[in-house]
Amino acid sequence: MPVNPPAEIAGLYRYPVKGLTPEPLQRAPLRVGQTLPADRRYAIENGPSGFDPAQPAWKVKTFYLMLMRNERLAALKARFDDATNLLTIQRGGEVVAQGDLETSEGRAAIEAFFAANFSEELRGPPKVLSGGDHSFSDVARKVVSIINLASLKEIEAMVGAAVNPLRFRANLYVKDWPAWYEAGLVGATLRIGTTRLKVVKTITRCAAVNVDPDTAARDLDIPPAIVRHRGNNECGIYAEVIEPGDIRVGDALAVEQPSLL
């Protein structure tokens, strides 16, 4: 296996509301110590969490509506407009909820939709949470998540079915790396143009990846399959931005500094 195989960004996505639809991007600015703009900027609280918008602190994802437990979220198609902070939710091609997430009225409209449509899954009144530039990530640091498409091809062989890459809800999808090459990159520096990111950890997969993002069906059992074949349930890596720049679909991605692990 080459030490620094060439690679390319094949897909770029953000997730303005935790658990809801990914939004494809053609380009995005990356800033030091930050996520993609508006990535996981909001979450839907599932019962009281103690989250304080004035002093936002990371909490485990079980406090929020999320695909690991609430697969019906995948049937909703959401779109967030940065200029107006307007979230639009569609189901079956029809708009079912809309609101400005930075106003109390707009948040109330979104909360009313979830209260009416997810009542059996709620542990308390749903609440739209925001903490400024806080990220409701699965990890307690601001990161960019990266998936190697070749590794997903091997997962398809493990489960005997096609696997939509969007099940893995990554920010960057990378092509041309050998399968599982990313697993050895913890500690390495990645370069995309003038942007540099340091790989800080591998991603442990949960049951969210079992949900088909098109049908909202929980139709595969991916983490146990990875464990059987790999001895762990990891797929993908998290990286922190250490030098800023703009990235685009089609950009080359290079391993500038090999991992020491």
Give the pLDDT confidence of 18-69 residue by residue, as tens digits: 999 999 999 999 999 999 999 999 999 999 999 999 999 999 999 999 999 9
Q: How much is the pTM?
A: 0.95
Residue 163: predicted pLDDT: 98
Give the pLDDT confidence of 202-257 residue by residue, as tens digits: 999 999 999 999 999 999 999 999 999 999 999 999 999 999 999 999 999 999 86
Residues 6+ apart with CB under 8 A from 199: 146, 182, 185, 186, 187, 188, 189, 190, 237, 238, 239, 259
Are 218 and 71 in contact by the 8 Å Cβ rule? The answer is yes
CA atoms of 256 and 254, how far apart (whole Å): 6
H or E element: which one contains 153? helix 149-159
H or E element: which one contains 156? helix 149-159
